[in-house]
Structure 1
Amino acid sequence: MADWKAPCWNLFAEPGGPGACLLTWCFPCITYGMNVSKLGDAPGDANVFCGGKFAAACCMYCCITGLGCGCIVHIPVRQYIRKKYGIKEPEYGIIQDLLMTWCCACCAIIQEYNEIGSREGGGAIMKDLATAKDAATTEVKAAANKQ
């Protein structure tokens, strides 16, 4: 089992760099949505809500975080990333994930963004934002057509 490529406190780590840090600090739901969309359709046992869907994940995270409990949807994503990339479990298990996603959510989201980017290629924040915009447009149009 490996460690995360960058520790959670290294907010300017590549591939995201300062751009990912700034975006996540101002709009954590956007970076969270990009992370979830990059994971694709996670298997059902992963409990990744809105897997593969940027707009849905972004909105859900924003709403649930507004209620003060974003960790409910963030913990399964963090656990899935750890499982997918063979990252070792934290020493204190789910308690550590709970504290990380509740108290240091932006740091955790940036760490996850950088991990996915370094493993899957990418991490260029402006390119990822353009892709996210296109994905959101497609998702909203598809939802509108269903009605």
Structure 2
Amino acid sequence: MASLNNASWSSGLCGCFDDVGGCCLTFFCPCVVFGRIAEIVDMGATSCCASGTVYAALASMTGMGCLYSCGYRSRLREQYRLKETPCGDCCVHWFCEACALCQEYRELKSRGFDMALGWQANMEKMGKTMAPQTHAGMTR
């Protein structure tokens, strides 16, 4: 049976020369890169700060930030119907965490996202409107 996910990634797993700035940010501050990816993939449902903090806590206390981040790679692939290459999402993150985060960051940038802006500002920049977010307990 043919896979529904057959689109190619915009760059390879080891394509850091395509975005040296993003790779440096990933090397020095992977929690920031992951937080930005998570906010875009979750379409603003989670904040960059919250996701990055959870990632940093997991990575520093257990060394297992990759178990959290691999789920976002799977979501990203599903959203854009990307191939699961070069191997499974968890394997990519387990063995090449920094390369995986860099590739995901580049992928979202290649799709028009300004990663420093976050979800809401990107939607405004792209001219897309979103329904106002309601929060529990807010009434008029």
Instruction: Work out whether the TM-score is over 0.5.
Output: yes
**Pick from 78, 92, 98: which aligns with 1:100?**
92
Q: Aligned-pair distance for 1:90?
A: 3.4
Q: Deviations over 1:55-114 (max 9, x none)?
A: 11001111111211112211110000000011123365xxx3222112211110010001
- Let me know the Cα RMSD of the aligned residues: 2.1
Q: Aligned-pair distance for 1:41?
A: 4.0
1:59 counterpart = 2:53: yes
Q: Aligned-pair distance for 1:34?
A: 0.7
User: Do the aligned partners of 1:70 and 1:102 also contact (CA within 8 Å) in 2?
Assistant: no
Name the residue aligned to 2:135.
Answer: none
Distance between the aligned counterparts of 2:104 and 2:96, measured in 1?
A: 12
2:73 counterpart SS class? helix
1:25 counterpart SS class? helix
Name the residue aligned to 2:17.
Answer: 12
Distance between the aligned counterparts of 1:41 and 1:18, measured in 2?
A: 26
Task: Count how many residue pairs are aligned between Structure 1 and Structure 2.
Answer: 113
Alignment of 1:1-147 (within 5 A): 1-13=6-18, 17-41=19-43, 51-66=45-60, 67-90=62-85, 92=87, 96-122=88-114, 128=116, 131=117
Distance between the aligned counterparts of 1:40 and 1:120, measured in 2?
A: 16
* Bigger Cα Rg: 2
Name the residue aligned to 2:126.
Answer: none
Structure 1 residue ranges without an equivalent (≥5): 43-50, 136-147
Distance between the aligned counterparts of 2:38 and 2:110, measured in 1?
A: 15
% identical aligned pairs: 28
Structure 2 residue ranges without an equivalent (≥5): 1-5, 122-140
TM-score by length of 2: 0.72
User: Do the aligned partners of 1:29 and 1:58 also contact (CA within 8 Å) in 2?
Assistant: yes
2:89 counterpart SS class? helix
TM-score by length of 1: 0.69
Letter in 1 for 2:108: I
